[in-house]
Amino acid sequence: MALTLTSPAFADNEFIPVQYTCDGDNISPPLEWSDVPEDTAELVLLLEDPRGPGGSQVYWVLFGLDPASGGLEEGKVPTSAVGGKNDYGRTDWAGPCPPFGRAHAYIFTLLALSEPSGLAEGASPRKDLPYALAGKVIAQAELTGMYQRRR
């Protein structure tokens, strides 16, 4: 079986409920993963908008996720996890917030690593992540959610 990432709040390629966005409570959605490879030492989670203003935007990065945890509860991050710095300079959840008008796709990417990333709080997904993950990714799963702001 392949690594799988799902959410009980929305299906793949469906709309993300407003409570998880900048127009709602701006809390992280519940996420669930399964079929994690046995030799996984750590999971890394990213949320990106590939069509953000000015190009791809990173909204959320978590390192140090326990492979055996099975997922994340709504609005909660395990104490063992470490937040990387998103494109807004934050290490916590920044919910989907596209410009008004067009729907954007938000891609949650879960990476299974063969050894710990060694990344610390505030690490940059653009500068630090490629080097820290080189040769360590043994599985990957994606979940895409859509969001469109309305006036």
CATH number at 77 reads 3.90.280.10
Please list the residues that pair with 63 across neighbouring strands: 82
Length of the chain: 151
Q: Is 92 part of a structural domain of the chain?
A: yes
Q: Is 147 part of a structural domain of the chain?
A: no
Number of folded domains in the chain?
1
> pLDDT tens digits, the chain, 151 residues: what are they?
799 999 999 999 999 999 999 999 999 999 999 999 999 999 999 999 998 777 889 999 999 999 999 999 999 999 989 999 998 899 999 999 998 888 999 999 999 999 999 998 898 888 888 888 899 999 999 999 999 998 7
CB 85 within 8 A of CB 61: yes
Q: Is 144 part of a structural domain of the chain?
A: no
Place of tokens 């080189």: 134
CB atoms under 10 Å from CB of 126, counted, come to 12
Single out the residue of 98, 63, 61, 75 nearest to residue 29, CA to CA. 75
Place of tokens 């909204």: 59
Q: Is 89 part of a structural domain of the chain?
A: yes
Q: Is 142 part of a structural domain of the chain?
A: no
Q: Is 145 part of a structural domain of the chain?
A: no
Q: Is 81 part of a structural domain of the chain?
A: yes
Residues 6+ apart with CB under 8 A from 146: 13, 14, 15, 16, 103, 104, 105, 106
Q: Is 95 part of a structural domain of the chain?
A: yes
- Locate 98 and state its tokens: 């596209």
Please list the residues that pair with 32 across neighbouring strands: 6, 71
Domain that holds residue 50: 10-135
